[in-house]
Amino acid sequence: MLIETFIRKQLRLKAHTVTKVEETDQHMLVQIDRLGQRLLRCGVCRQRCREVHSVRPEREWRDLSMRKLPLLLRYRPRRVECPRCGVRVEDFPWAEPWARVTTALAQAVATLARELSWQGTAREYGLNWKSVATIVKRAVEYGLRHRARPPVHVIGIDEVSRRKGQVYLTVVYDLERRVLLWVGEDRTEEAVKKFFTEEMGRRRCRTLRVVCMDMWAPYLNLVRKHAPQAQVLFDRFHIVKHLNEAVDEVRRSLWRQLSVKERANFKGTRWLLLKNPWNLKDSQRERLSTLVRWNTPLVRAWYLKEAFQLFWTYRQPWRAEQHLRKWMNSAMRSKLEPFKKFVRMLRSHLDGVLAWTKIRLSNGAVEGMNNKIKSISHRSFGFRSATHFIAAIYHCCARLPLPVER
């Protein structure tokens, strides 16, 4: 078989043919031409058109390599007279209208970019970073247009920070199918509204049963407005995070209360606690008693934190609620301001906290995906803009279909 025939078959050309294949140092040049008077298709609506209006200057497309040599397709596009669209550039069976690479190469690049950084993918295919970015973005646009949209019942809303908490993104997962549904810039009500109005729409919002999230007012407002029937469940890991922050706040405020001299005294006093009391000198005994006094609030904080965790283990809702109410009362009496603040937060969100016992779901179900997003953000130093980062997240987590060769 001639190489021309081989390439023609590989590209599945019908109205076109390969006229010549030349080898250079860097490429295999594949010359393509129209095949006789076969009808060409409109690049917009793909309808067959009778009339060719004009011939455009030659264009080039990068294709997959043959052994080590990349194929370079060359062709002079025709402009056709489409009865529906008017005069348009024809449809290319080997590439999308906008593309400078063939669909086959774009598909290979997009597949690798799910595993590798864009930089690494570019190196692998001898392209530059920008080309990879364009390919991935187009693939994501295609995937979002063509992905299946089954009814969604249980979602998790979470935030991802970029640049060490300077910029936030909001991600929404389908917790049943464990797939990313949506990602958008920021975490304001205005920004996340798009998920409910554009991605979901009113009809699909109605099937939502559970929404798992942090106690974050904008998210809560949105759910109440767009999916009032859904049960809000405050995410276990976020609640524990707030609890740990309360402990830490107690620790830090104790540290702040100490004078510089006291701090110096406390440095290296941990071993005092390990020593047998009868071996202590007077000065050491004094230091130890101050240390214990200093530590009491911290001990209380630790105890409260540990006691709270029992809440997750109850199977019966009334027992869980009883535990939580008792715990909140003792935390209010603890004289620890951060814990009082935490209790006030729980009280105003009680229904969504107690929902845990019945639903037993958390955004932890998609922790793998969360880690993936973190690693995407780490490996992609080129993502100075959120749009690239968002495209990469969709590409790796949303299980989008890739453009197929026609």
Residue 183: CB minimum distance to Zn ion, A:
34
Stretch that binds Zn ion, among 82-90, 159-167, 294-302, 328-336 (CB under 5 A): 82-90
Stretch that binds Zn ion, among 34-42, 152-160, 263-271, 344-352 (CB under 5 A): 34-42
Residue number with CB closer to Zn ion (86 or 317): 86
Residue 116 interacting with Zn ion (CB under 5 A)? no
- Residue 84, interface with Zn ion (CB under 5 A)? yes
Candidate list 14, 45, 337, 387; residue touching Zn ion; CB under 5 A: 45
d(CA 388, CA 397): 14
Whose Cβ is closer to Zn ion: residue 91's or residue 185's? 91
Contacts with Zn ion by CB under 5 A: the residue count is 6
- CB nearer Zn ion, residue 84 or residue 326: 84
Q: Which of positions 273-292 make contact with Zn ion (CB under 5 A)?
A: none
- In the list 44, 179, 288, 332, the residue contacting Zn ion (rule: CB under 5 A) is 44
Q: Does 200 bind Zn ion (CB under 5 A)?
A: no
- Comparing CB distances to Zn ion, the nearer of 44 and 179 is 44
What minimum distance in Å lies between the beta carbon of 79 and Zn ion?
A: 12
Q: Looking at 43-51, 117-125, 204-212, 361-369, which segment touches Zn ion (CB under 5 A)?
A: 43-51
User: What's the 3-state SS for the chain?
Assistant: CCHHHHHHHHCCCCCEEEEEEEECCCCEEEEEEECCCCCEEECCCCCEECEEEEECCCEEEEEEEECCEEEEEEECCEEEEECCCEEEEECCCCCCCCCCECHHHHHHHHHHHCCCCHHHHHHHHCCCHHHHHHHHHHHHHHHHHHCCCCCCCEEEEEEEEECCCCEEEEEEEECCCCEEEEEEECCCHHHHHHHHHHHHHHHHHCCCCEEEECCCHHHHHHHHHHCCCCEEEECHHHHHHHHHHHHHHHHHHHHHHCCHHHHHHHCCCHHHHHCCHHHCCHHHHHHHHHHHHHHHHHHHHHHHHHHHHHHHHCCCHHHHHHHHHHHHHHHHCCCCHHHHHHHHHHHCCHHHHHHHHHHCCCHHHHHHHHHHHHHHHHHCCCCCCHHHHHHHHHHHHCCCCCCCCC
| Closer CB to Zn ion, 80 or 183, in the complex | 80
Q: Select the residue interacting with Zn ion from 82, 127, 208, 400 (CB under 5 A).
A: 82
Least spacing, CB of residue 362 vs Zn ion, in Å: 50
Q: CB of 162: closest distance to Zn ion in angstroms?
A: 42
Of the listed pieces 39-47, 160-168, 347-355, 356-364, which binds Zn ion according to CB under 5 A? 39-47
- Binder among 13, 18, 30, 42 for Zn ion (CB under 5 A): 42
Q: Which amino acid is at 254?
A: L
Which span sits near Zn ion by CB under 5 A: 81-89, 167-175, 225-233, 396-404? 81-89
Under rule CB under 5 A, residue 85 binds Zn ion: yes
User: Where on the chain is the footprint of Zn ion (CB under 5 A)?
Assistant: 42, 44-45, 82, 84-85
